Structure 1
Amino acid sequence: MILLRSHQLKPKASLEDIFAEDDVLGLLDVAPLKPRSVPVDLVSNQFGDIVAFFEQHGRAPQNSYSADMSEKLLARRLQAIRTDPDQCRALSGQDIHGLLAGIEVVGSVAEKHEQYHAKDVAAEAVNASTVDTSELVTSLDDIFADDDLGLLDFDAPDIFSMQHVPREKKALPDEIAQRQPCPDFARFAPLFETVKTGLQGGAFSLVRYRNEHGFQVGDFFILNGVMGYVHSAGARLDQYERYNARLHLVFDNGTELHMLYQSLTQGLIRDKEGRKVMLGDKLLLPNDAPIPSGFVYVLATKSTDPILMPFKQHLYKIGFTEGAVEERIKHAEIDKTFLQAPVRIITTFQCFNMNTHKLETLVHGFLAKQRLDITLKGVDGTSYAPREWFHTPLATILEVIHHILDGTISHYRMDNTTGKIVAKKTTEGA
């Protein structure tokens, strides 16, 4: 037999009993609701700023070129409020100066600032309040012009103003930019006649120009259908990696041009009919018109550099120039070619109808063993090796030049032991 133990059921607690019990954890402590804050009237605050501006300056803010950014913003806000009838009615109580109607109330503020033009502003306000702005938008320009918040105002230059960016300069070809009439073309005319006669008779020939052909003073070419003559070449330009120098070119149409070597060669390559005249070993010497080719000069240095003292007794520079030697050495004190020191002219030779650059090369080659082989430090701190200075007696240098000019240099050689020129031994009777 199973005995069931009966349990006495406790009466259920009511809500009052539950809330009447001690709230140890403070669960029923609820803070009273805070009253809602009055919503901020943004438009009213903005209009208050506009009223303050008027009272300070005696005029409404203007969206003019000379106005600063803050005034422009106030002007746009005022214009936006004027075009909204609801906002005008809501702000009528604050409009003590008639800003919304565009008419100022004459008072103490207006009397102090007589420059404010009420009629212009009134007309602007009336027009703005009677026109639906949506009807005025017909293009992108209208949209950009209706910038109430001034998002498109830039005090700094806009992004389309190029600053601190070098403009690309498209250089014109030398022959177009600097070609001019040759004042003494009569001296060169016989040369062109000789070349044309030689081409017709087969003594000379034309070849399509290629880089390996190169150019020297005395060469002829055909560029854009015009025959040209390389009269002279200036000093090599060191800023170029490959050889480049300013050439004096004379053309058979009576013009001349000072053109860069690289510009000439590139122009001939681009020209499908560009040709070089192959003269062989023939030297053109018009009897009635000797053409000055330039000057070969010999200089001595006045440098006091201690490194040069052991060589100074027989130290000479050999070079050539198309113009006057005095002009060439004018800035010797800052030119590494002249050891960055004053120089003294020993002698000069004026050459006619010959390649002076080739003459200089022959002299340098003949005296190669006597070339000054040292390294000097320039005034800018960089090191350099002089290439046109030779440590040899002056008599030897003059003798080499004379033998080259009279065409007998092939009969002599340099004795590197004595530093003198000696005649080559003949093989007759050997």
Structure 2
Amino acid sequence: MAKFTDEDDALLEELGVEAETKREGSRTPREERIIAGFEEVQRFYEKHGRVPQHGEGRDIFERLYAVRLDRLREQQDCRDLLTPLDHQGLLSGVGAQSSPPASEELDDDALLAELGVEGDGSSEISELRHVRSATERREAEEIANREKCPDFDQFKPLFKKMQEELSAGIRQTRPFELKAEIRPGSWFILGGQKAYVVEVGEIFTTPQGRTDARLRVVFDNGTQSGMLMRSLQRALNGDKTSRRITDPSAGPLFSGQQEEDDQASGTIYVLRSKSDHPLVAANRDLVHKIGVTNLSVEQRIAGARLQPTFLMADVEVVATYKLFNVNRTKLETVLHRVFGAAQLKIEIKDRFGRPVVPQEWFMVPRFIIDEAVEKIKEGTIIDYVYDPKSVALALATRKM
């Protein structure tokens, strides 16, 4: 629009014409903000060729623009202000989609809060300091929302013993590393509090194809939480001071006089496969190889990806237990008998395409393997077998 000078105004006045010119700076701060916000939506449309969409999986800025456009379409004063600028037809519903109900008029700060965005109140939208997804917010709430543990009295002695074992060096603290470390009976330090995983519920698969399970976690302040395993995993990873508390040091499993067929030393090893076989991938935290070797474990697993006994894939060492003066072959036979009911039924092709059925892989939780090692130390392992239905070691039925 052409600008009129003072002389032009005087001439028009002489001619009896009233000129209604909207001078620069006549808009209110609110109108300027509305226009600036709409221009950001327009730039998004020009860049992507579509209106911004809703949805947790989308970029936070796109989600903000989508909510903003909904608000602008709903408010008549905004439509009146912006229609002359709307050369793309955004206000009239170009690419309109169904959106979440928006009954309240919110400014951008309120929208940011609604979307889980933390800003400093003065930064531009492109300078957000932290953006949390809805999943992260739910997980944070799970960690924060604890309730009083109704049977904490039965856990008090466990926490006391735990502290005594830490003080005596029987247990150590280590950085948390793997989700597989979260199992029944495992201990952690989270937010300065000791946390004891009492129960792990049934494992399920999330919509994203990841495994998860509901836990019961008791804390040393007398509270408990029913958080998800992945929620605890994220909390431990996000807390720089978090720690995993190790199991008691087992030390030598056997000692005494070496018999004729005994090995001077050996090692029980527990491995996890990195195979992409569907059965293994779907149960990676449960599938373990349990074996005994008189070599170093590093030597035993060298070239794993070329050996069908290792499922033709690399492996991860989960645990090792040193042996002294034990018949390695007999012990390995006993272990495989104990876990026989949970043997993994899988066929692998070797390098030459020939089918091979590995014998040392079992679908058994890590904590059960630890219990079996304790039975070995006590000398009672021959009396037990693993029961997959109850997920526990049970007394074996002896034949008469």
TM-score range, shorter chain: 0.3 to 0.5
The alignment's TM-score, normalised by the length of structure 2, stands at 0.35
Q: TM-score under structure 1 normalisation?
A: 0.33
Greater C-alpha radius of gyration: 1
